[in-house]
Amino acid sequence: MNTYMAGILSGVGFSDVIDVIIISFAVYKLLGFIRMSRAEQLAKGLLILIIASFISDTFDFYTVNWILTKVLDVGIIALVVVFQPELRRGLEYLGRGKFGSKQFSMDKERMKETSDTLVRAVEYFAATRTGALIVIERETALSDIAETGIIMNSALSESLIENLFYKGSPLHDGAVILRDDRIYAAGCVLPLSENNNLSKDLGTRHRAGVGITEVSDAVVLIVSEETGIISMAVDGRLSRFLDLKTVDKMLLNHYMSRLDRKRPGRDWIGQLFRGGRNE
């Protein structure tokens, strides 16, 4: 037995070990992706078809096996169509990180000033029940979304952002996009979320806030016009009923995560290994 195992191990080279590690990691990430999306139910259905095809082939059920084989052949194309949004998000995620990413020029002092300004504005919106939708651009450029509104490229200030969401303002129904510490665009139209698990009580503003985080790595602040409730959307997930201290902490964490990516050793491979976790 020892000789048999030694013979097997002697034929395993360094490249074989790396090959197995890469495949194992790819399968692990694929399973994680399936569990976090609507792919889980479809994956179960596909697995049932594969098992049925194997059984029909074993017991010589020729007609059943022929039908299942054709269904599986067409199913591969159908999966690409069905999972187009998920595949797009996956490719965008791979494209994020240090390589080819936008230059981030903010230092810690400017981050704190920006966070404080946003917290004061959100406090005002919540107190006056003014609906607000603020998108903080990160690695994924939102230039195409900005073009649906008015390009401003203005310095961020509490008074300006409050005026943009004032009910009498022509831009108040759209989203404001922040690029670093500047208001890049206002009155922007965001894609609505396709997540059917969101509460039916949420309106278009919340669905739009979640929707943009499903197709980008943006961080979105949302204030309800009806209730004044403060929410934050990240990676397709919505956190509601936030207080100002929590908002400030979450904003600083997201800004600091971008600063960390500028340091050596925080490349795109590291980002991939961490997966789609909230930061």
CATH number at residue 210: 3.40.1700.10
β partners of residue 222:
133, 231
- Count of the separate structural domains present in the chain: 2
Distances from the Cα of 1 to the Cα of 7, 10, 11, angstroms: 10, 14, 16
Confidence bin at 24 (pLDDT 50/70/90): confident
pLDDT above 60: residue 1 = no
Amino acid code (one letter) for 28: Y
pLDDT above 80: residue 88 = no
Place of tokens 């979320």: 193
Q: Do residue 119 and residue 187 come from a single domain?
A: yes
Q: What DSSP line would sit under 25-70, residue for residue?
A: HHHHHHHHHHHTSTHHHHHHHHHHHHHHHHHHHHTT-HHHHHHHHH
Is residue 69 within 8 Å of residue 50, measured between CB atoms?
no
Q: Do residue 47 and residue 127 come from a single domain?
A: no
Q: Do residue 49 and residue 127 come from a single domain?
A: no
Residue 85 lies in a domain: yes
Residue 278 lies in a domain: no
Q: Do residue 250 and residue 151 come from a single domain?
A: yes
Range of the domain at 27: 2-95
Q: Do residue 164 and residue 249 come from a single domain?
A: yes
Q: Do residue 258 and residue 153 come from a single domain?
A: yes
Q: Of 152 and 19, which is predicted with more confidence?
A: 152
User: Would you say the pTM of this structure is higher than 0.75?
Assistant: no
Region 1-23 average pLDDT: 73
Residue 101 lies in a domain: no
Q: Of 92 and 220, which is predicted with more confidence?
A: 220
Q: Do residue 159 and residue 202 come from a single domain?
A: yes
